[in-house]
Amino acid sequence: MDRIAEITSFTVPPRWIFVRVRTAEGLTGWGEAIIPKRRNAVIGAIRDLTEVVLGMDPARIEDIASSLRKGSFFRNGPILGTAIAAIEIALWDIKGQRAGMPVFEFLGGRVRDNIRSYTWIGGDSPANVVSHAKERVEQGFDAVKMNATPAVAHLEWREATENLVQRMGSLRDAFGGSIDIALDFHGRVPRSVLKQMVKEIEPFDPLWIEEPFLPEHVGADELMARICPHIPVATGERLLHRWDFQRLLARGGVDVIQPDISITGLFEMEKIARLAEIYDVGVAPHCPNGPISLAASLQVDFCCANTVIQEQSLGLHYNQGYAGLPPADILDYIGDPDVLTTRNGRFDCPAAPGLGLILKGDTIKAAHTDWSLPDPDWRHRDGVYAEW
């Protein structure tokens, strides 16, 4: 029986945390953690978990993940969640490599030949969206996403709404209905502003309104469904596990859920997708992350029929030299770029074992550096700290 022998974390540009798991028999799997602004806490959590799992059988993935989630009296939270997810994803990579098959074959097998993808335009404070969208269309995409607004205070709806209407109008003038446009509100916009804003943007037919409320505003999704009955509502990137999603789904105010595999873990995200199917809700995995998170998300996409579109970070503003770090993009650390290259805006079904990636270990090791990312200091005009 094989054993987990070593777990190593690498922090690399643009802001990614890669986790390598090696076994006593020489197999290597890769996972990815997120929350780069709390890098030290995430790395510390991975070190703590490493002490628990060294010597365990890497094939017992669910048992290992359960022990890591339940072994502490104080549990849950995004830091612990992403640390567990990174290790768990790497173990699935190992399991697939050992069996010589993609991970989705363990989860029911392939249900589709390809999946649609979308990418970002516009940045944190959206600008130049038409030129960015033209680049994406030239790359083959027919779906894009942009942040809806910068920081917005209560009742200050007019300027933000006019700006969003102008951007949506310019995109529709340039592309008509040939592209879908998703709007990410990032939990930034107070309900007093949302009520005005959604009324004005409905004629532009957005693909969805994403995270219109913060997850701690329980029940706000139901309000959103009432004030925005004709635009799909998407949310869920900050939720941790199927219990969080069950409560969200049961309220009936969401049309598309967006679990992040580097928070939930791979098997947990598959369970969440199956749960959403009961409620006739689509799944669009959240992934403005690195190549390992994307490859893991694709494994779930190809075994769950209700996954509808896959986010990816190609050309994302965070990859362009964020907070002084060197730039990097999702293909820079993998040996076979074709695996994560879209064709006509779609990912083909992975065929290689495990997650399907060959990571450039030497490149990752050379790029590894300790870095610290500052928190944003977004403030309203009165000095109050703003949601970002």
Q: What is the pLDDT of residues 129-175, one digit of tens each?
A: 999 999 999 999 999 999 999 899 999 989 999 999 999 999 999 99
The reported pLDDT for the residue numbered 219 is: 80
Q: Are strands 180-184 and 143-147 parallel, antiparallel or unpaired?
A: parallel
Instruction: Tell me which of 8-12, 52-56, 280-284, 367-371 is least confident.
Output: 367-371
Query: Is 154 labeled as catalytic in the residue annotation?
Result: no
Rounded distance between C-alpha atoms, residue 354 and residue 90, angstroms? 9
186 among known catalytic residues: yes
Catalytic residue (one of 132, 241, 286, 317): 286
For CATH 3.20.20.120, the residue range(s) in the chain are: 105-354
How far is Cα 125 from Cα 130, in angstroms, rounded to an integer?
A: 14
Q: Pull the structure tokens for residue 267.
A: 């098997």
Spatial contact of 21 and 6, defined as CB atoms under 8 Å apart: yes
Considering only residues 225 and 17, tell me which one the structure prediction assigns the higher pLDDT. 17
Task: Over range 25-40, report the average pLDDT.
Answer: 97
Residue 367: pLDDT above 80? Answer: yes
Are the C-beta atoms of 122 and 129 separated by less than 8 Å? Answer: yes
What is the CATH number that goes with domain 4-100?
3.30.390.10
Q: Which helix (H) or strand (E) holds 32?
A: strand 28-33
For 366, list phi and psi in degrees, rounded to 5: -70, -30
CATH topology for the 105-354 domain = TIM Barrel (3.20.20)
The pLDDT tens digits for 73-102 are 999 999 999 999 999 999 999 999 999 999
pLDDT for the residue 226: 84
- The residue behind tokens 């999704």 is 221
Is residue 388 over pLDDT 90?
A: no
Matching residue, tokens 């409560």: 247
- Looking at per-residue pLDDT, the higher value among 342 and 387 belongs to 342
Stronger pLDDT, 122 or 304, i.e. the higher one: 304
Q: Which regions of the chain carry the CATH code 3.30.390.10?
A: 4-100
Considering 186, 217, 230, 380, which one is annotated as catalytic? 186
Q: If pLDDT is split at 50, 70 and 90, which confidence band does 211 have?
A: very high
Average pLDDT, the chain: 95
Of the pLDDT bands very low, low, confident and very high (cuts 50, 70, 90), residue 223 is: confident
Percent of the chain with pLDDT over 70: 99
